[in-house]
């Protein structure tokens, strides 16, 4: 259904489907600070800034509230963006929008890969919107919009606009997100980043990023900001000579805004880079470590992790004042039954509190997907949830043995005794940066709320209460400045354990 040409004001609903209870949803942790969502729909906010100025826009984040009848009667168009893990909620939301007679336009990772499975959607704006959205808008204005808009080239993201933060209910979110670069120079077999965004990192300019952060700060945001880059250090030269110096200067009067991001393990090789990142305000980094089994690392093309002392690298980053969050995978062809114990031992020794462990999956478009499809080793569907105990791969290892071993990993690393011991291992290594103000990580009222609620839920009512108080007093007397972080990690541990219990174990 292609509507007639429209030149007057149009009511557009920007729709973000619900994210299920997953490892990264932090739903069980958010209640400690009375927040509903971990992070905002950055893609939709960026799209909003590209739409005609005379259009009336409203954001409906279904993680905050349900899709109301008022939304459906107000809107003429619905622009929906989603990730694979939001597939179920997307179907339900699209169904309601179509029943209300609305024109549905879809984009984002889910639809870029699976648009053929959504016949009810009117228009697809796929790949990078900087390239495909203008063409759609031009055709729409002429009343001749096509069903699918796609591109096999990559956008110049220095031309990307700042997100429309004003559309958010900011008080509902625990953190904010920005993006500095797209793409990754590495080519891990199981990762779809290079298939979607390329191997040559594309960066925004430093003034562009400072303008985005200024606009966010001017909206009143004082909490954490996560750089959602696939690999922040993909172009180290530009990072060190442009962005980091600009962030260091920006933070001189804004010391209460901590940053997090994703990077590769070779971050540990560059002490100058680590020092600059800490000065710029980065205190958390997610790293895909995957496995201590070098044969499996070679199998998946993760050469940057081979011939390293990975635990030493992790601890070096921690000593600089950056918490390492780790991604791990089991189910490689070269994995043997001993991998389950090896991985638990590695995680415990590393002090990586936030350890995401999943079964190997093959997303469509990856080299792994193509190889296993050719070998007849693929099953239907991929959940998009990294920690739900499912896989679309027929593994070399016996499936029952793999699944049982995976469950044992989760039981071990998120049992209260092991988890709290791991947090203390981390805190022994961690050096709180001198430029970090621990009680400004959140507003003082939120910090006190988290502390008081954790004391009741975890310290009195929780089965981890002995370990909670042991960590609390150990940190209070030995690492007092890290107490807010210790409490935060205790709350995270509760969330991770609940997710594992409800979805896997």
CATH of the domain at 379: 3.20.20.70
Residue 254 and residue 394 in one domain = yes
pLDDT of residue 448: 87
Residue 311 and residue 332 in one domain = yes
- Written as six digits, the tokens of 247 are 């962030």
| Domain hosting residue 455, numbered range | 438-503
Compute the distance between CA of residue 16 and CA of residue 82 in angstroms, rounded to an integer: 7
pLDDT band at 32 (very low <50, low <70, confident <90, very high): very high
Looking at the domain assignment, is residue 4 inside a domain? Answer: no
* Domain end point (choices 372, 396, 429): 429
Distance, CA of 79 to chain centre: 21
Contact 389/403 with Cβ under 8 angstroms?
yes
Residue 242 and residue 185 in one domain = yes
Residue 330 and residue 465 in one domain = no
* Domain end point (choices 384, 411, 429): 429
Domains of the chain: total: 3
* Domain end point (choices 429, 454, 486): 429
Residue 329 and residue 462 in one domain = no
In the DSSP assignment, the letter for residue 241 is I
Tokens 């070779």, located at residue:
266
Residue 479 and residue 411 in one domain = no
Residue 410 and residue 467 in one domain = no
Residue 442 and residue 307 in one domain = no
Looking at the domain assignment, is residue 24 inside a domain? Answer: yes
Nearest to 441 by CA among 406, 488, 501, 390: 488
Residue 242 and residue 193 in one domain = yes
Q: Cite the DSSP H helix spans in 22-86.
A: 27-30, 42-48, 69-74
Tokens 């965004």, located at residue:
197
Compute the distance between CA of residue 366 and CA of residue 386 in angstroms, rounded to an integer: 16
Residue environment code for 108-147, b if the CB has 16+ CB neighbours within 10 A, otherwise e: bbbbbbbbeebeebbbbbbbbbbbbbeebbebbeeeebee
pTM, full prediction: 0.95
Residue 451 and residue 425 in one domain = no
Residue 274 and residue 365 in one domain = yes
pLDDT of residue 504: 85
Compute the distance between CA of residue 496 and CA of residue 297 in angstroms, rounded to an integer: 26
- What are 126-178's pLDDT values in tens digits? 999 999 999 999 999 999 999 999 999 999 999 999 999 999 999 999 999 99
pLDDT of residue 331: 97
């Amino acid at each position: 259904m292609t509507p007639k040409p429209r030149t007057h004001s149009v009511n557009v609903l920007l729709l973000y489907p619900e994210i299920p209870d997953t490892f990264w949803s932090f739903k069980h942790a958010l209640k400690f600070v009375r927040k509903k969502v971990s992070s905002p729909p950055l893609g939709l906010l960026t799209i909003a800034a590209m739409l005609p100025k005379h259009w009336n826009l409203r954001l409906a984040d279904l993680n905050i509230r349900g899709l109301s009848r008022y939304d459906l009667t107000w809107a003429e168009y619905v622009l929906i963006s989603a990730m694979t893990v939001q597939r179920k909620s997307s179907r339900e939301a699209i169904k309601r929008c179509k029943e209300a007679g609305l024109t549905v336009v879809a984009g984002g990772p889910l639809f870029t890969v699976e648009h053929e499975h959504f016949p009810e959607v009117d228009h697809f704006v796929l790949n990078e919107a900087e390239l495909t959205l203008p063409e759609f808008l031009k055709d729409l204005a002429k009343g001749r919009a096509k069903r699918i808009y796609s591109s096999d080239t990559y956008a110049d993201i220095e031309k990307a606009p700042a997100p429309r933060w004003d559309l958010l209910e900011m008080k509902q979110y625990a953190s904010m997100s920005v993006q500095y670069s797209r793409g990754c120079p590495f080519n891990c077999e199981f990762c779809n980043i290079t298939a979607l965004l390329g191997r040559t990192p594309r960066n925004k300019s430093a003034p562009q990023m400072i303008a985005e952060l200024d606009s966010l700060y001017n909206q009143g945001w004082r909490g954490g900001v996560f750089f959602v880059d696939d690999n922040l250090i993909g172009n180290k030269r530009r990072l060190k000579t442009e962005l980091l110096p600009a962030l260091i200067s920006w933070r001189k009067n804004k010391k209460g805004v901590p940053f997090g991001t994703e990077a590769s393990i070779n971050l540990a090789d560059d002490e100058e880079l680590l020092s600059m990142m800490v000065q710029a305000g980065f205190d958390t980094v997610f790293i895909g470590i995957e496995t201590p089994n070098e044969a499996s690392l070679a199998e998946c093309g993760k050469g940057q992790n081979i011939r390293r002392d990975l635990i030493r690298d992790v601890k070096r980053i921690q000593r600089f004042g950056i918490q390492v969050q780790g991604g791990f995978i089991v189910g490689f062809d070269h994995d043997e039954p001993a991998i389950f114990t090896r991985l638990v031992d590695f995680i415990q020794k590393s002090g990586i509190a936030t350890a995401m462990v999943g079964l190997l999956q093959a997303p469509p478009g990856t080299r792994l997907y193509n190889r296993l499809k050719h070998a007849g080793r693929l099953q239907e569907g991929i959940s998009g949830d990294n920690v739900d105990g499912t896989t679309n791969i027929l593994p070399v290892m016996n499936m029952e043995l793999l699944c049982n071993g995976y469950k044992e990993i989760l039981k071990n690393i998120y049992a209260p005794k092991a988890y709290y011991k791991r947090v203390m291992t981390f805190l022994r290594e961690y050096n709180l940066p001198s430029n970090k103000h621990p009680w400004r990580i959140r507003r003082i009222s939120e910090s006190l709320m988290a502390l008081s609620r954790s004391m009741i839920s975890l310290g009195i009512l929780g089965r981890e209460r002995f370990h909670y108080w042991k960590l609390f007093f150990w940190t209070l007397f030995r690492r007092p400045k890290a107490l807010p972080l210790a409490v935060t990690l205790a709350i995270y541990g509760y969330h991770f354990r609940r997710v594992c219990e409800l979805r896997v174990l």
